[in-house]
Amino acid sequence: MADSGMLLNFDIGDAPLKKQVKFTGGRWRDRVHAQRSARKNREGPVGASDVNATPLSNDRRDRTVTETHHDYDERPTKRLKTFGDSSGRYDTNGTAARTGGNAPTRPGGITSRLFTSNPTPRTVFGEPAEETEPAKPSNAPLTNEAENFHALGLSWRIAQHLSSKLEMKAPTSIQKNTIPLLVKEDSDAFLQAETGSGKTLAYLLPIVQRIMALSCHEDGTSTGTKIHRDSGLFAIVLAPTRELCKQIAAVLDKVLRFAPWIVSTTVIGGESKKSEKARLRKGVNILIATPGRLADHLDNTKVLDVGTVRWLILDEGDRLMEMGFENELKSIVGKIREEKLKETNKEGVTLGALPQRRVTVLCSATMKMNVQKLGEISLQDAIHITASKSDNDANDTTETNDAVFSAPSQLKQTYVVVPGKLRLVTLIAFLKSAFARKGSVMKAIVFISCADSVDFHFELLRSSPSKSDDTSLIKDTVADAAYITSPANPNINLLKLHGSLQQPVRTATLASFQDSKDPCVLITTDIASRGLDVPAVELVIEYDPAFSVDDHVHRIGRTARAGRPGKAALFLQPGCEEGYIDLLKSATPLAPQSFDATLQKGFVTPITLPKSGDSTDPQTLTSDRQSPNSRAEALQLHLEQRLLASASASASEKEGNSSGNSNANNNHNNNNKSNKLLDAARQAFRSHVRAYATHVRDERVYFDITQLHLGHAAKSFALREAPGGIGGGPSRRTFKAGHHHQKQSSGGGGQKRSGGGGGDSDREDDGAAADEDAAKRMRMKMRAVMSAASEFNIG
Ligand SMILES: Nc1ncnc2c1ncn2[C@@H]1O[C@H](COP(=O)(O)OP(=O)(O)OP(=O)(O)O)[C@@H](O)[C@H]1O
């Protein structure tokens, strides 16, 4: 078996070793070199010819015949080496074939070991730090008693509603700095604050306050004017994804419960345009939309009158630009400006309480080039508002940008240095230890670079029977997390989310994650990195690092929201990736954690899988006597075997079919499923590698595709070797193509990620029927950026 670049162990029992060893995999130069060395050894001085004469490891059956020396300063080279782990750092306890109850036992079977030939991290791991008190939250509501919403200029009714119904007694800093300005002044604003700091209410509350002021005086008495849904469209909120739009709409609905005559709605694509038109015809005061769908309605829905529109809010401005909405945004801003501002509505009601000019509010956590461009398109004399201050120059952001764009200070961050081969088992160990105690973590998000990889990891880690009936929208996206459950925590849900799922499935899956009372692990692409507000998320794992530092901060910002505690862990491989830590200028430093410490914690008890299918007993994978590392090996082998079994099952099914064997039909579903798993692993691997090549240019020095060990990476997809189409000639060409195009297009990170992360169809998040044009243009752009776009489900 070829095991490109990996350490091979031959389980040879007591039989003498064959002297002739065939070298396969890796570069041809390495193979020739290894053959020569082997020959030299055979023909060399007495003793050297006999592989048994070299010093033995603890167990002779653990003989390593070839090994890849992987060092982060150079490409791995193959050389002949005789025995196991030279570092002696790990307790390998014999071969995995013997340690794992279910490990392969085929005579002469080849297994690749996890704990040998791994590059040595340069990170120095100290003793695990004592649990310290988390830092004072930086995005929490203010605690000073004098701070309340009424003091900011909101009416008593709103303040009381927030306090009694939404349990929000005091504003956050960004709300304190934004609300008075937007309530009293009519100037454009650029809102910049860290994740989870309450930006949504910071812009929504002043809008509600001023619309309320049309019908109520400050003391609550009526002005004599009645506002209802047909009184005019006053505000438009644009957000990059449908999920975000729905979330903003949900927040607004809660706020408007005390004023149900003010009506809001969403137009977001993925839903019937006809019913959207019908809602617009009935009348709406606040509209929440994705840019593609709004641009479409502005072109085609005559009833949509923007003459009364006073506010245009651009939420997640940087993401709007990254997703390629620049043209739609230009067109929307142009159309609204073209329309003369109406001082009265169609009923002749004077709109004096509303701003006397059009106000645009741009929200973004960063002030990147693309946000500045969006500012140029949309803002006029904007005030720059941050959590710590507001000033009159939205262009002068140099001092505040770094401070603003950091993680919340109470967020505890770690990074785990994990060699490529060990990534999968370390992820499982990390999750197992996080969920080991009931109530220790309620919800966790695992970020993965691309949709194919999300699909694979979901299929691999779920238990086979679906949690829901066949007709349920979430039958293929929510399951039991078979490999993470423990006796203490037996009901953990596993969910997946990415942009290639149908919109109703996405919505239902997200709702299931939000509403679940059971612990949950959501495996997702960057589609969930922006704006998603699920307060019970306590842990974020970046299994694949983000494609840019900005995305990293957004991802980890899904936890530690509004002053709550949270933990984030970043997986990095030894070598150049470790340098990435220097780049993460975070308010809180990241504590290093070694993978072996993670394995020790995660596999402290034997690994048992819950009963599945028709089996009545839990499946015992490992025993009491094993060490955590042996359990990790056994688990890896079990996962690899599931994939291998699928290949042979599929082959025998074909045979059975050709000989008319009826059993084959009976097994069809199972085989088909497992075969799908092997295919999914290969597809995921390819997409993962290509996504790896698309980190933003400035950060590619840390995520250098030429340093990525493909054999080791394959292992983390439970594959024993890198599948074809990647690695050798063609894939090298692909990488180069990726780099080349990226260079041309990245422009300071603007058009980043030709694949992966947002590189799956998350980018065309607004892409239902009405947004098809925009989506098509985006797809073409993406195809131009990267020839392998289909790997990321862009097409
Ligand atoms: N004054 C407040 N008191 C208590 N909780 C609040 C307050 N304001 C907002 N929140 C809560 O804080 C959470 C985060 O709010 P929001 O989603 O608006 O943050 P954000 O700044 O937009 O974050 P992101 O940049 O990640 O999108 C929400 O759950 C919201 O209900």
Supply the pLDDT for residue 197: 93
Q: Which atom of ligand 1 is nearest to the CA of 193?
A: 21
CA of 569 from ligand 1 middle (Å) equals 22
CATH of the domain at 217: 3.40.50.300
CA of 589 from ligand 1 middle (Å) equals 24
Supply the pLDDT for residue 364: 83
Supply the pLDDT for residue 39: 60
pLDDT of 15 > 60? The answer is no
Between 14 and 295, the higher pLDDT residue: 295
pLDDT of 726 > 60? The answer is no
pLDDT of 90 > 70? The answer is no
pLDDT of 421 > 80? The answer is yes
Supply the pLDDT for residue 455: 97
Q: Which atom of ligand 1 is nearest to the CA of 365?
A: 25
- Residue located nearest, by CA, to atom 22 of ligand 1: 199
Supply the pLDDT for residue 733: 34
CA of 191 from ligand 1 middle (Å) equals 14
The string over 252-289, giving b where at least 16 C-beta atoms fall within 10 Å of a residue's C-beta and e elsewhere, is: beebbebbeebbbbbbbbbbebeebbebbeeebbbbbb
Q: Which residue has the tokens 């690899």?
A: 640
- Residue located nearest, by CA, to atom 12 of ligand 1: 562
Q: Which atom of ligand 1 is nearest to the CA of 247?
A: 17
- Residue located nearest, by CA, to atom 1 of ligand 1: 171
- Residue located nearest, by CA, to atom 7 of ligand 1: 198
CA of 336 from ligand 1 middle (Å) equals 29
Supply the pLDDT for residue 96: 38
| Residues 734, 706 contacting (CB under 8 angstroms) | no
Mean pLDDT highest for which of 298-307, 381-390, 438-447, 587-596?
A: 298-307
Q: What is the mean pLDDT of residues 384-410?
A: 63
Q: Which atom of ligand 1 is nearest to the CA of 244?
A: 27
Question: To 10 degrees, the CA torsion angle through 722, 724, 727, 731?
Answer: -150
pLDDT of 737 > 50? The answer is no
- Residue located nearest, by CA, to atom 31 of ligand 1: 198
DSSP class of residue 191 equals E
CA-based angle 116:600:418, to the nearest 5?
Answer: 50
Q: What is the mean pLDDT of residues 130-135?
A: 69
DSSP class of residue 288 equals E
Probe ligand 1: pick from 167, 199, 248, 313, max atoms within 8 Å of CB?
Answer: 199
The backbone torsions φ and ψ at residue 227, rounded to the nearest 5 degrees and listed phi first, read -105, 135
pLDDT, tens only, 451-477: 999 999 999 999 866 666 777 899 999
Cα–Cα distances (Å) from 91 to 373, 555, 626, 631, in that order, read: 56, 35, 10, 11
| Residues 266, 245 contacting (CB under 8 angstroms) | yes
> How far apart (Å, rounded) are the C-alpha atoms in residues 622 and 103?
10
What is this model's ipTM?
A: 0.99
Q: Is residue 86 part of a domain?
A: no
CA of 326 from ligand 1 middle (Å) equals 27
pLDDT of 142 > 80? The answer is yes
DSSP string of 325-368, one letter each residue: -HHHHHHHHHHHHHSPPPSB-TT--B-TTS-SS-EEEEE-S---
pLDDT, tens only, 283-320: 999 999 999 999 999 999 999 999 999 999 999 998 89
CB count in 10 Å sphere of residue 194 = 26
CA of 531 from ligand 1 middle (Å) equals 9
- Residue located nearest, by CA, to atom 10 of ligand 1: 198
Q: Tell the burial category of 587 from Cβ atoms under 10 Å away from its Cβ (0-12, 13-18, 19+).
A: middle
> How far apart (Å, rounded) are the C-alpha atoms in residues 288 and 291?
10
> How far apart (Å, rounded) are the C-alpha atoms in residues 402 and 488?
42
> How far apart (Å, rounded) are the C-alpha atoms in residues 607 and 176?
51
Supply the pLDDT for residue 23: 52
CA of 197 from ligand 1 middle (Å) equals 5
pLDDT, tens only, 575-622: 999 999 988 865 568 899 999 999 999 999 888 887 665 555 677 888
Q: Which atom of ligand 1 is nearest to the CA of 558?
A: 26
CA of 198 from ligand 1 middle (Å) equals 3
Q: Place 271 in a pLDDT band, splitting at 50, 70 and 90.
A: confident
Q: Which atom of ligand 1 is nearest to the CA of 200?
A: 18
Q: Which atom of ligand 1 is nearest to the CA of 170?
A: 1
pLDDT of 746 > 60? The answer is no
Q: Is residue 208 part of a domain?
A: yes
Probe ligand 1: pick from 371, 533, 551, 558, max atoms within 8 Å of CB?
Answer: 533
Tokens read off for 733? 């060409």
pLDDT, tens only, 210-262: 999 998 877 777 777 888 999 999 999 999 988 899 999 999 999 999 999 99
Domain count, the chain: 1
| Beta strand extents in 61-147 (DSSP E only) | 66-71, 74-80, 110-112
Q: Place 422 in a pLDDT band, splitting at 50, 70 and 90.
A: very high
Q: Place 651 in a pLDDT band, splitting at 50, 70 and 90.
A: low
Q: Place 9 in a pLDDT band, splitting at 50, 70 and 90.
A: very low
Q: Which domain holds residue 371?
A: 173-401
| Residues 293, 269 contacting (CB under 8 angstroms) | yes
The backbone torsions φ and ψ at residue 11, rounded to the nearest 5 degrees and listed phi first, read -85, 100
Q: Is residue 158 part of a domain?
A: no
pTM for the model stands at: 0.77
The mean-pLDDT minimum among 236-250, 262-276, 568-582, 721-735 falls in: 721-735
CA of 200 from ligand 1 middle (Å) equals 7
pLDDT of 776 > 90? The answer is no
pLDDT, tens only, 61-74: 333 333 333 333 33
DSSP string of 576-635, one letter each residue: GGGGHHHH---SSPPEEEEHHHHHHHHTSS--EEPP-TT--SPEE-S-TTS-HHHHHHHH
Supply the pLDDT for residue 665: 43
CA of 536 from ligand 1 middle (Å) equals 13
| Beta strand extents in 14-92 (DSSP E only) | 66-71, 74-80
| Beta strand extents in 81-197 (DSSP E only) | 110-112, 189-192
- Residue located nearest, by CA, to atom 14 of ligand 1: 196
Tokens read off for 166? 């939404």
CA of 696 from ligand 1 middle (Å) equals 29
> How far apart (Å, rounded) are the C-alpha atoms in residues 193 and 583?
20
The mean-pLDDT minimum among 428-437, 446-455, 471-480, 777-786 falls in: 777-786
- Residue located nearest, by CA, to atom 15 of ligand 1: 198
> How far apart (Å, rounded) are the C-alpha atoms in residues 395 and 407?
23
pLDDT of 742 > 70? The answer is no
Q: Which residues line ligand 1 (CB under 6 A)?
A: 141, 168, 171-172, 175, 193, 195-201, 365, 531, 533, 535, 557, 561-562
Length of the chain counted residue by residue:
795
CA of 342 from ligand 1 middle (Å) equals 33
- Residue located nearest, by CA, to atom 26 of ligand 1: 195
Q: What is the mean pLDDT of residues 364-388?
A: 85
CA of 678 from ligand 1 middle (Å) equals 42
Nearest to 479 by CA among 489, 457, 496, 494: 494
Tokens read off for 174? 């960004």
Q: What is the mean pLDDT of residues 513-530?
A: 94
Tokens read off for 76? 């791995």
Tokens read off for 139? 């995005």
CA of 147 from ligand 1 middle (Å) equals 17
Mean of the per-residue pLDDT values for the chain? 76
Between 259 and 46, the higher pLDDT residue: 259
The dihedral sign for the CA sequence 693, 696, 316, 532: positive
CA of 533 from ligand 1 middle (Å) equals 8
Supply the pLDDT for residue 358: 95
Q: Is residue 258 part of a domain?
A: yes
Q: Is residue 522 part of a domain?
A: no
CA of 350 from ligand 1 middle (Å) equals 34
Contacts 24+ apart (CB under 8 A), 782-787: 782/754, 784/741, 784/745, 785/741, 785/742, 785/745, 785/751, 785/754, 786/690, 786/694, 786/737, 786/738, 786/741, 786/742, 786/754, 786/755, 786/759, 787/734, 787/737
CA of 407 from ligand 1 middle (Å) equals 14
Probe ligand 1: pick from 191, 197, 514, max atoms within 8 Å of CB?
Answer: 197
- Residue located nearest, by CA, to atom 23 of ligand 1: 196
Tally the C-alpha atoms within 13 A of residue 314's C-alpha that lie toward its C-beta: 32
| Residues 715, 112 contacting (CB under 8 angstroms) | yes
The string over 308-342, giving b where at least 16 C-beta atoms fall within 10 Å of a residue's C-beta and e elsewhere, is: bbbbbbbbbbbbbbbbbbbebbebbbebbeeeebe
- Residue located nearest, by CA, to atom 30 of ligand 1: 198
Q: Which atom of ligand 1 is nearest to the CA of 172?
A: 1
pLDDT, tens only, 345-354: 888 888 888 9
